[in-house]
Amino acid sequence: EAGVAQSPRYKIIEKRQSVAFWCNPISGHATLYWYQQILGQGPKLLIQFQNNGVVDDSQLPKDRFSAERLKGVDSTLKIQPAKLEDSAVYLCASSYQQGVVETFGSGTRLTVV
Amino acid sequence: KQEVTQIPAALSVPEGENLVLNCSFTDSAIYNLQWFRQDPGKGLTSLLLIQSSQREQTSGRLNASLDKSSGRSTLYIAASQPGDSATYLCASRDSNSGYALNFGKGTSLLVTP
């Protein structure tokens, strides 16, 4: 089966600009996660969707980050405005249902200068 | 909130040595625990998953153990090879947080020829 697709692969922006990341999960996967991985740290959950509903967004900086999953399939994560500390790899993962092992995408590496 | 800690942060060993990576977690009410491998600039590769009812899992030269009562897991790598060089991440999955993964910061392993 096809894996979790993410784009772009890399992005460099200036601080205060906006950026959007896209994730296409494996077909039929109801659960979708966005993780942020800062260099030297483990991934941190930003938001979890079950179909098109939010399960957990407690660690999402809602003043600048937003995410949506229209129609319960693809998802976009947006940052506006970006800060230097947002430089990280943004990983998307999906699973058939909650509690089932997820498949991770290759990630989007964001550099904010 | 679950806290996952990995020790050591970095490790360098000569080829052929057996080694142990340590992971501890603060909340023993985990659903399962997973070990991942991450190569530089790459995504996450799942190595082993231990359900909360299990004590260990083995795959080739890898063996992971779980002791819920003490909040600890270890990853044992036998007869290390230069190709094992990577960052190893431990992550707990908790039923009270939507079954998302809580990651440690990882152990960076270098196996020298």
Give the pLDDT of chain A (113 residues) as one tens digit per residue. Answer: 679 999 999 999 999 999 999 999 999 999 999 999 999 999 999 999 999 899 999 999 999 999 999 888 999 999 999 999 999 999 999 999 888 889 999 999 999 99
Residues of B in Cβ contact (< 8 Å) with A59: none
Summary mean pLDDT of chain B:
95
In this structure, what is the dihedral angle of CA atoms B91, B97, B99, B102, given to the nearest 10 degrees? -10
pLDDT of B23 reads 98
Nearest-angstrom CA–CA distance, B92 and A43? 12
Q: Fill in the DSSP letter of residue A100.
A: S
Closest-CA distance of chain A to residue B95, Å: 8
Residue range B11-31: average pLDDT? 95
pLDDT one-digit tens code per residue, B54-85:
999 999 999 999 999 999 999 999 999 999 99
Nearest-angstrom CA–CA distance, B102 and B86? 20
pLDDT of A1 reads 64
For residue A81, cis peptide bond before it (omega within 30 degrees of 0): yes
* B95: pLDDT strictly greater than 70: yes
Smallest Cβ–Cβ distance between B105 and the set A31, A33, A41 belongs to: A41
pLDDT of A70 reads 83
Residue of A nearest to B50 (CA): A101
Smallest Cβ–Cβ distance between B43 and the set A31, A50, A91 belongs to: A91
Chains A, B: CB pairs < 8 Å: 49
